C-alpha cells in the first residue's frame, strides 16, 4: 500500500496566478497529496442553488497535471450566511434559547432537517461533479464534526422530545428513569420536557446525560446519512473525515456506531512542541480512539507545523511526530497548512510557507518526511496491528464524571491518559473498545474508571472472564446504571461475584484526618496530599493519587496492599476459566503497569521492547522493526536483532544509535 504525504491548501484564498507557483513548490518537496475544499462551502455555492465549479475545475486540473492527488473535503460546516438565514433551526441557541448569530465556524446544529436538506443537496452536487476527476483520491465528509456547540433552541427542544418519546414510550417510564420525584421534577407529559441546562444550572444527572446522548445521536445520524449519500453518489470512492469526537463542548459517542459512517478514520494531530507535555499522550490516545476497532489506517488530514506565536518547532520535530504517527497506524500526513493565511482567526497559525510565500523550516521538515516516506512505503506500512488487549472506553462515564467533578476528581480524560501512558512506556499495542459492541477478540481487557455500567457491559465482562479472559478494573467503576442512577447493590455494579469483592468505602489522600503518622506528603493544588505505599511480593510503589477504596474480599485474594493502611490495593479472583483483577484506586500508570505485568505473565499480549525513555518501537512485520526517537538528543539502545537500516542504509548488529527526532526501520534478511 502507498503512503501519502502532502499539505492542506486553500486556493480560494489566493489569486489564480499563484496556484502554479505553489504546486511547483509542492512537487519539489516530493508531496503527492493535498487536502482542499474544507471551510469553503460558499465558494462553491455562493447563493441558494447557484453553483460555481469552474474556478475549482482549473485547480483540480493543475494538480492532476502535477501528479498530486486530492482529498476533496465536502465541507458542510461552516454553512454560508444564506443557509443560516433560511434555516433558523440550524442556528445555535444560547442556554436561554436566544438565537446566536453565526460569527464563528461550526455554529450549526447539524441535526436540523432543513439544514440537512441544503447541506446534502450541496454534497450531492459536489460528488456528481468531481467523483470521476482523475486527481480525486478521496472525499472528505465534512471537517471536524464533533467540534461546535450544544444548541438550546426551541427546534432542538422539540427534537429532544421526539427522541425521548422514541426511547421511553411513556411519560411514566421517563419519570422513573430520570428519578423526577427528587426535588419535585415530575413531568405530566413529554411537552413538559426542557433541555437540561440553562444560564444558571444543569438538570439532574440522569436527565442531563440523556440530553448529551441526544446531541451525540444527532451528530452520528448526520454522519451516517452523509456516508450513505457518498455510497450512492460516489460508489467506489474512498471516504474519510477529520474527526473531532473528543471536543469538550460538543463531541459524540464515536465508538457507539462508527462502523456505519467511518471508512478511513482521519484526525488533526497538534501535539505542540514538548514531548513531555500532556498533549503528547493525549494525541496518542486520540489516535487509538479514532482508529477504534475499524482495522483501517489513520489519515492525518492535519498535522501541526506552527501555531500562534511560534513559526515552527525545532528542526525535524514535525518529521518525528509524523513518523510517530506512522508507528501508530498512520498512512497519510498532510501538513496544516501550506501557506500562512493573511486573514481570519487563523492568520498567525504559521504554515509551510510564510505570509510572504517563501518556504520556512517547516518546508525542509516536510521535504525530509516525503523523501523517507518513499523508502518506507516499500515495506510493511501502513502498520495495522491486531492487539490482544482491549481498553474499554465509555462516553457515558465521561459525561458523568464531568457532571460530578467533586466525586470524580480525576477527570475521565486524565483517567484514560494514565492508561495510555502504560502502553506508551511498554511499547505495547491496544484497541479502544465499546463494551456494548466489541468487534474483535482479546485476551485481556482493561476497564478504567467505567463509572456507568449498563447490563450489556456487565454481561460482556462476565462472559469474557467466564470464557477465559483476564480483566483489570479500576476504582470508580460500576457506580451507576444505564440511566445514571446509583446502584443499590454493592459496587462494582452487578459484578461483585466476578471480582469477588465489595467496595465498602473510599478515601481521599488530601484529608489530614486520614493521614498516617510519618506520612509522606506532597503539595498538590495548594493542599498536602498523602502518598500511598503499595507493597506486593515483587515490589513497592509510591502512589501519588487522590482516590482509593476500601475492599471487602469474599472469594478474591489480595496480591498488593496499601501497607500503611492495612488495606487491599489490588485483588484477583478466579471466575470460570478466567481471572478478574480489581485495583482499589483511580487510574494510575505505575499501578496499572504493575497489575498488567502481573496479569500477563503467562499470556501472550504482544512483543514489548525495553527501550530508553522517549523511544518508541514496534515489530511491524516479520523481520521488520521500526523505531522513533522522540528525544532531541542522540540515544543508543539494544535492538532485538541485527539488519539493514532502510533510511540510513547502514548495517546494524544488536544496537542502534538514533540522533534526536530521527527514526529507523531495521530489516533482517529472512
| DSSP calls for 177-217 | HHTTTTTT---SSGGG---SB-SS-B--HHHHHHHHHHHHH
> What cell does 627 get?
523505531
CA distance 597 to 255: 28
CA distances from 261 to 174, 223, 373 (A): 30, 6, 29
DSSP state of 99: B
To the nearest 10°, report the CA torsion of 287, 290, 296, 302: -60
Q: Average pLDDT, whole number, for the chain?
A: 96
Contacts of 518 (CB under 8 A, 6+ apart): none
Work out whether the CA dihedral 643, 648, 654, 656 comes out positive or negative.
negative
Gyration radius from the chain CA atoms: 26
| Every domain range in the chain assigned CATH 2.60.40.1180 | 615-667
Measured between its terminal Cα atoms, the distance across the chain in Å is 21
Mean pLDDT over 381-406 rounds to 97
Task: Work out the average pLDDT over 440-468.
Answer: 97
CB 546 within 8 A of CB 509: yes
Q: Under DSSP, is residue 355 helix (H, G, I), strand (E, B) or coil?
A: coil
Question: pLDDT digit string (tens) for 644-655?
Answer: 999 999 999 999
Kindly state the cell numbers that stand for 86: 433560511
CA distance 414 to 424: 15
CATH topology of domain 615-667: Immunoglobulin-like (2.60.40)
pLDDT-derived band at 1 (thresholds 50, 70, 90) equals low
Average pLDDT, integer, range 265-275: 93
Range with lowest mean pLDDT among 23-37, 250-264, 269-283, 551-565: 269-283
Q: Where are the alpha helices (DSSP H) in 301-411?
A: 317-327, 361-376, 395-403
Over residues 4-22, the pLDDT tens digits come to 999 999 999 999 999 999 9
**What stretch(es) of the chain map to CATH 3.40.50.880?**
389-599
| Partners of 80 in the β-ladder | none
The Cα diameter of the chain in Å comes to 78
Nearest alpha carbon to residue 402 among 531, 260, 251: 251
Are 611 and 427 a contacting pair, CB within 8 Å?
A: yes
**Superfamily for 1-31+267-381?**
Glycosidases (3.20.20.80)
Residue 566 corresponds to which cell in the numbers above?
A: 492495612
**Cα dihedral 239/245/250/253 (nearest 10):** 100
Q: How confident is the model at residue 118 (pLDDT cuts 50, 70, 90)?
A: very high
Q: Residue 670: what pLDDT? A: 72
Looking at the chain, the domain(s) classified CATH 3.20.20.80 span 1-31+267-381
Q: Which of 350, 303, 352, 296 is nearest to 325 (CA)?
A: 303
Residues 45-102 have pLDDT tens digits of 999 999 999 999 999 999 999 999 999 999 999 999 999 999 999 999 999 999 999 9
CATH of domain 389-599: 3.40.50.880
For 365-459, list the strands marked E by DSSP: 389-392, 431-433, 444-447
Is residue 434 pLDDT above 70, yes or no? yes
**The pLDDT value given to residue 604:** 87
Cβ contact 372:647 at 8 Å: yes
Rounded CA gap, 39 and 43, in Å? 9
Q: Which residues pair with 377 in a beta bridge?
A: none
What pTM, to 2 d.p., does this model score?
0.96
- Beta-carbon contacts of residue 236 (< 8 Å; ≥ 6 apart): none
Which residue shows C-alpha cell 450566511?
81
d(C-alpha 323, C-alpha 67), whole Å: 24
pLDDT category at 215 given cuts 50, 70, 90 is very high
Amino acid at each position: 500500500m502507498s503512503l501519502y504525504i502532502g499539505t492542506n491548501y486553500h486556493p480560494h484564498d489566493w489569486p489564480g496566478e499563484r496556484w502554479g507557483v505553489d504546486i511547483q513548490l509542492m512537487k519539489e518537496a516530493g508531496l503527492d497529496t493535498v487536502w482542499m475544499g474544507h471551510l469553503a462551502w460558499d465558494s462553491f455555492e455562493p447563493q441558494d442553488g447557484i453553483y460555481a465549479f469552474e474556478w475549482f475545475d482549473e485547480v483540480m486540473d493543475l494538480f492532476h497535471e502535477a501528479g498530486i492527488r486530492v482529498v476533496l473535503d465536502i465541507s458542510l460546516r461552516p454553512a454560508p450566511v444564506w443557509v443560516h438565514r433560511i434555516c433558523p433551526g440550524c442556528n445555535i441557541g444560547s442556554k436561554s434559547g436566544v438565537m446566536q448569530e453565526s460569527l464563528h465556524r461550526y455554529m450549526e446544529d447539524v441535526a436540523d432537517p432543513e439544514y440537512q436538506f441544503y447541506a446534502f443537496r450541496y454534497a450531492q452536487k459536489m460528488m456528481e461533479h468531481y467523483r470521476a476527476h482523475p486527481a480525486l483520491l478521496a472525499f472528505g465528509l465534512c471537517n471536524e464534526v464533533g467540534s461546535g456547540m450544544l444548541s438550546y433552541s426551541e427546534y432542538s427542544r422539540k427534537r429532544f422530545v421526539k427522541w425521548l418519546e422514541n426511547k421511553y414510550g411513556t411519560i411514566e417510564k421517563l419519570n422513573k428513569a430520570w428519578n423526577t420525584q427528587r426535588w419535585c421534577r415530575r413531568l405530566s407529559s413529554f411537552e413538559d420536557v426542557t433541555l437540561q441546562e440553562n444560564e444558571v444550572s444543569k438538570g439532574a444527572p440522569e436527565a442531563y446525560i440523556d440530553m448529551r446522548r441526544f446531541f451525540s445521536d444527532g451528530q452520528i445520524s448526520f454522519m451516517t446519512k452523509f456516508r450513505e449519500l457518498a455510497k450512492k453518489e460516489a460508489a467506489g470512492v474512498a471516504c474519510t473525515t477529520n474527526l473531532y469526537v473528543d471536543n469538550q463542548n460538543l463531541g459524540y459517542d464515536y465508538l457507539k456506531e462508527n462502523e456505519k459512517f467511518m471508512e478511513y478514520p482521519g484526525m488533526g494531530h497538534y501535539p505542540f512542541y514538548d514531548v513531555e507535555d500532556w498533549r503528547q499522550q493525549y494525541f496518542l490516545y486520540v489516535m487509538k480512539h479514532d482508529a477504534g476497532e475499524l482495522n483501517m489506517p489513520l489519515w492525518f488530514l492535519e498535522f501541526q507545523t506552527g501555531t500562534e506565536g511560534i513559526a515552527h518547532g525545532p528542526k525535524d520535530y514535525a518529521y518525528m511526530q509524523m513518523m510517530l504517527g506512522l508507528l501508530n497506524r498512520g498512512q497519510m500526513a498532510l501538513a496544516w497548512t501550506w501557506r500562512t493565511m493573511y486573514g481570519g482567526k487563523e492568520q498567525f497559525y504559521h504554515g509551510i510557507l510564510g505570509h510572504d510565500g517563501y518556504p520556512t523550516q517547516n518546508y525542509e521538515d516536510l521535504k525530509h518526511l516525503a523523501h523517507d516516506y518513499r523508502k518506507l512505503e516499500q515495506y510493511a506500512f501502513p502498520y495495522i496491528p491486531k492487539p490482544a488487549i482491549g481498553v474499554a472506553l465509555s462516553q457515558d462515564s465521561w459525561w458523568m464524571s464531568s457532571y460530578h467533578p467533586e466525586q470524580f476528581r480525576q477527570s475521565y480524560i486524565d483517567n484514560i491518559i494514565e492508561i495510555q501512558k502504560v502502553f506508551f512506556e511498554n511499547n505495547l499495542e491496544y484497541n479502544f473498545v465499546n463494551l456494548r459492541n466489541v468487534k474483535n477478540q482479546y485476551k485481556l481487557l482493561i476497564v478504567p474508571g467505567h463509572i456507568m455500567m449498563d447490563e450489556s457491559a456487565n454481561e460482556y465482562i462476565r462472559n469474557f472472564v467466564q470464557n477465559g479472559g483476564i480483566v483489570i478494573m479500576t476504582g470508580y467503576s460500576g457506580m451507576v446504571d444505564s440511566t445514571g442512577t446509583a446502584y443499590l447493590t454493592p459496587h462494582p455494579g452487578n459484578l461483585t461475584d466476578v471480582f469477588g469483592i465489595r467496595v465498602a468505602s473510599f478515601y481521599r489522600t488530601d484529608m489530614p484526618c486520614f493521614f498516617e503518622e510519618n506520612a509522606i506528603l506532597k503539595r498538590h493544588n495548594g493542599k498536602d496530599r498523602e502518598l500511598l505505599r503499595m507493597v506486593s511480593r515483587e515490589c513497592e510503589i509510591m502512589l501519588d493519587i487522590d482516590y482509593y477504596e476500601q475492599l471487602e474480599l469474599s472469594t478474591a485474594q489480595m496480591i498488593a496492599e496499601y501497607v500503611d493502611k492495612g488495606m487491599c490495593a489490588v485483588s484477583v479472583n478466579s471466575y470460570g476459566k478466567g481471572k478478574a483483577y480489581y485495583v482499589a484506586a483511580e487510574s494510575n500508570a505505575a499501578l496499572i503497569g504493575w497489575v498488567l505485568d502481573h496479569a500477563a505473565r503467562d499470556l501472550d499480549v504482544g512483543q514489548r521492547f525495553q527501550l530508553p525513555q522517549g523511544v518508541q518501537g514496534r515489530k511491524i512485520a516479520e523481520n521488520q522493526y521500526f523505531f522513533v526517537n522522540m528525544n532531541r538528543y542522540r540515544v543508543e539502545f539494544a535492538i532485538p536483532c541485527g539488519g539493514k537500516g532502510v533510511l540510513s542504509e547502514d548495517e546494524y548488529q544488536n544496537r542502534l544509535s538514533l540522533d534526536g527526532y530521527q527514526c529507523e526501520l531495521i530489516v533482517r534478511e529472512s
